[in-house]
Each structure stands twice: as C-alpha cells, then as structure tokens.
Structure 1
Amino acid sequence: MRSIKSLILILILSFSSLNLEASKTEVKVGMYIIPPFYSRTDQVASGILVDLIKYLNENQNKFQFKIVETSPRRRYRDLENGIYDIIFFENSIWGWSNRNIKLNETKVFATGKDYYIAKKDPRLKNQQVIFANLREKVILLKSGFHYGFLKFKSYDVKDKNLIYTNSLEGNIKNILRGKGDITVINDSFLKMYLKTHPKDKDKLVVSEKIDQVHNFKVLARPNSPISIDEIEKLFPLLKNSTYLREVLHLK
C-alpha cells in the first residue's frame, strides 16, 4: 500500500512539474561555441550559459529558456530573422550596430577581460616586452570575435600578421609550439585552460595590458516574448547563486 501511495505522489508531482513548465512562455536563447560559456561534446552541451539557463528555469515561473545554437558569423541574421529571441554575453558594439539590425539591449549584467598571451622567452628579464609593438607580431585570433586593438572590427584582411582560427585552446597550444607570437584570451577561458593544463602555467606569460573589458549585456529582438525590463528583473536572481556570482564577476 505504501509503495502505491508513493507512486501516486510521484505521478502527481511529475504532472504538476509538466503543467508548470507548459504554462511558461518559451524564450529561445542564441549561443555559439565559445568556451567556457558554451561548449558541446558528443552532442552534450555544457558551460556557464547552460548553467545559467538551468538556474533561471528552476528559479522563476514565468519563462522557459531554451538554448538555440548559432555561430559567431550567423548570430546577427539569426536574431533578426527570429531564429532565437535573445542572446546573453553580447554587446551592440561587437558588430551589431554597423549591420543596422534592430534590437533592444539591457544594461551590463556581468563583466570580463581579454588579455594578450604569449610563450615565455627565457632570454628576457622583463617578459612584458613581448607585448610591445603588437602589430609587428603574428597574432592568432578567434574567427568571428571582436578585439579592442582592432577597434572591434571582426576582420582586418589587409594585415597578414593576423591569423583567424576556430579554437581558443588551439591558439594557446600553437603559441606554445611557436606557431605564432601572441593570442588574445578572455579571463574565464584562461582560468579554465590553466586548470586543465596546469603544466602550461609556467610556460605562458599574460600581459599586464588588457585588450578590452567585456561589458556583457543581453540583446533581444524587438518582438521578443520577454522584454528588456523583464530580463533585467532576473539579474538580481543570478546573485543568489554562489557559482554564477563568482564566474560572472557579479557584485
């Protein structure tokens, strides 16, 4: 009898959960591969955004957020065409404004920094000298990203010293192999990389100079099912998670 009652209770809770989820307004969240924010291995997605979306879905009852994968280059038109509704960890200065795409933008909800990374040179007493005269160095960059030293233009095809790739980790490894002088890495990815590759810490030098400070915002298409005001009301909720507060540098 007890097992039957337990089964009935489980079924009731399951149906209640399904009904609650069905009553939520679906919001499609665009994201492209950019560790540690979003990664996919064997069709399993992971990363800070995945954790953030899971947290929001579990801690509010109005919206059901669903990740829709896009790409760094395709993300502009996908938002404009309604393939997804909003995108986290963005800023309108990163290629959006010069495409004349109509969108709405939240206030800054998180921050990050990009640093120049190079292989240590044992001949140098001051390793920071490596980062002098940047444009004379071979620099490995991530395709589709925007950089401060390039004035946030995604490509500079006239400069043969700029090499665009599809992997932040690959850029670091190529720097260590001598296949390039410098790369630019965000602080969150660098922290993750050094945690999984601790032996590389003493082989790399990180610039004291910052390429850019990321002021992360949420961008939304004009007819998004969630308004900018409603998105911003969720920001304080993120601070209740110790993990999100730490990885997003929330205050």
Structure 2
Amino acid sequence: MAILVAAIMLATAPVRANETEITVGVYHFPPIASVNSDGKVEGFLGGLLEVLEQIHPDVSFHIIHTSPKRRHLDFDAGLYDVIFFQSPDWGWTEKDVDITRPILADEELYVALKKPGRDSSFFNDLRNRSIVAISGYYYGFTGYETDNSVLEEKFNIEFSDSHTRNMNLIKADRPSVAEVAIISRSYLQKHFAQHPQDRDKLLISNEPDQRYQLSIIARKGGAPSADEMLRLLAPLVDDGRYRQLVENWGLRLPAGFLTSFEAP
C-alpha cells in the first residue's frame, strides 16, 4: 500500500527569525491524510500539524502534494528528507534511512458486495476475482509489488486513486470490473459513520490483507532527523492529545505504545 506523508527541512533561510519551516509532502491516504483543492492538508495529519504548530510557535509547515507512485522517486531525487506514517515494508528497507519506533497502526481489509451464500471464503483466491486497488499502494496479496504492469499479468486488477470510487464500483455490482476492493479499517469506519446503510450491503473479510505499524522515516544525515520529529511529537504523547487524535480518526496506536515516552 500503501501512505503517504513526507517532511522536508528547507535549506533556505527561515521565514522569520529563529523559525524552522518544514515542507510536508502529502499523498492521498485517507483518513490519515489528503490534500483539498486549496492545497490544505486534511484528515488525521491535518489535525496533527495544526496542533504541532500551536505548541511549537518556532516551527511552521508548508504542504507539498506528492503521490503514492512518486514517493520513492521524490525521496531519491532529494525533494524531501522525512516521511511520516510509513511501514518499512513499503519500499524503504533497502534505502539509506533511519526508522523511528512505530507511532500509528491500521490494517487493510477485503471488501465485496454481500450476496446470499457469499461468506469470507470469497476472498480465499483473489486470482479468480476482479480487483480494484489504489495505484502505488503496497498490498499483502501482491507480495508488496507495485508495478502495475506486473500486477496486471498476475491478477484481474483495475487501478484507481480513490477509495470512494472503489467503494462505488463494489456497490454498483459490476463483477466484470470489480468484485473485491482493499480498504483500510479506519476508512471503513469513517465510511460507515457517514453511510450506515452500507453496513448491511458489504461483506468484509475476517482476516486482513495486511496489518501495518507506521513510523517516521528519515534520510540518514538529513535535517530534520526522525528523532527531531519525535521531539516535536513528544509533548502531545505525554499529555494524551496524540492518543485522542488517533482515536478520533478511527486509527490505532501500535501494541505496546506507552502513554508517554522520552523522545531520543
């Protein structure tokens, strides 16, 4: 799948005296993050950045829109140095990066139209299903392959850039186009809160496609470092506001995440 959010410390002079400007690249990964038509970041990340600016008046965030497919190319090109809410399994393990402790958790589930006689075994062999997925996301059933041409050879798969479109394709009951979508648990919770009638229309897998714990990943030797970003986050963890933000968006803290921590 897989997220998502990158931060760049600009090498230029600060906007104001003693102010640090961090440019944040965001790709569409709801409800964790999205960018609206005005270029403003929304979702969990939007709320988090707003609070971080409130408690750190010497820090400002500038939003840059990237995409799931471009995230690694942009990193390799030096366009950003820090990326938030990523699993190391999403293409980072072979790069020269430092990875923080996990700070967020979620999982991806298979979704289909509920029909008589159809149960979770419907998801057992996805090679026999028509699938709709987000281009550039990492998925467990693909072995974390993200090359569309490779995936099209192995699966009957269509790509999009919108969970809303994927959900609508499933509900439209067009099996030649889409029988199965892969959608995060947090997005499903948000969707059902807004469309409670869909609970009885959709079949959700018992087992996830993948469970992931998301970290901050930084370029080795870059600025800001992952540890520096944790220091910015630490006050919100200590006073419980980070946990509240996570829960408000239907997300989860990783197993063993403490109510407070001493940032490095």
**Class of the TM-score when normalised by the shorter of the 2 chains:** 0.7 to 0.9
**Aligned twin of 1:16:** none
Mapped partners of 2:219, 2:159: distance in 1 = 29
- Within 5 Å, give how 1:65-80 maps onto structure 2: 65-80=61-76
What's the CA shift for 1:175? Answer: 0.8
Mapped partners of 2:27, 2:230: distance in 1 = 22
Contact 2:27–2:67 (CA under 8 A) maintained in structure 1: yes
Higher helix share: 1
What's the CA shift for 1:24? Answer: 2.6
User: Paired residue for 2:87, among 85, 88, 91?
Assistant: 91
TM-score between both structures, scaled by the size of structure 2: 0.78
Contact 2:105–2:213 (CA under 8 A) maintained in structure 1: yes
TM-score between both structures, scaled by the size of structure 1: 0.82
User: Paired residue for 1:153, among 145, 150, 161?
Assistant: 145
Unaligned runs of 5+ in 1: 1-18
Q: Which moved more, 1:234-243 or 1:197-206?
A: 234-243
Mapped partners of 1:170, 1:20: distance in 2 = 40
**Aligned twin of 2:29:** 34
Mapped partners of 1:44, 1:28: distance in 2 = 13
Q: Secondary structure at the match of 1:157?
A: helix
User: Paired residue for 1:120, among 114, 119, 122?
Assistant: 114
Mapped partners of 2:17, 2:29: distance in 1 = 30
User: Paired residue for 1:107, among 86, 101, 108?
Assistant: 101
Q: Which moved more, 1:133-142 or 1:37-46?
A: 37-46
Mapped partners of 2:31, 2:16: distance in 1 = 28
CA radius of gyration, larger in: 1
Q: Show structure 1 runs of 4+ deviating over 6 A.
A: none
Alpha-carbon distance change, 81 to 127 in structure 1, aligned in 2, over 3 angstroms:
same
Mapped partners of 2:154, 2:206: distance in 1 = 24
Mapped partners of 1:31, 1:22: distance in 2 = 27
Mapped partners of 2:65, 2:236: distance in 1 = 22
Residue 47 (1) aligns with residue 48 (2): no
**Aligned twin of 2:245:** 244
Mapped partners of 1:223, 1:157: distance in 2 = 38
What's the CA shift for 1:87? Answer: 1.4
Contact 1:137–1:161 (CA under 8 A) maintained in structure 2: yes
- Within 5 Å, give how 1:1-251 maps onto structure 2: 22-43=17-38, 45=40, 46-61=42-57, 63-97=59-93, 101-121=95-115, 123-124=116-117, 127-155=119-147, 156-179=151-174, 180-239=178-237, 240-241=240-241, 243-246=244-247, 247=249, 248-250=251-253, 251=257
Tell me the matched-pair count.
229
Identity of aligned residues (%): 31
What's the CA shift for 1:107? Answer: 1.4
Contact 1:107–1:232 (CA under 8 A) maintained in structure 2: no
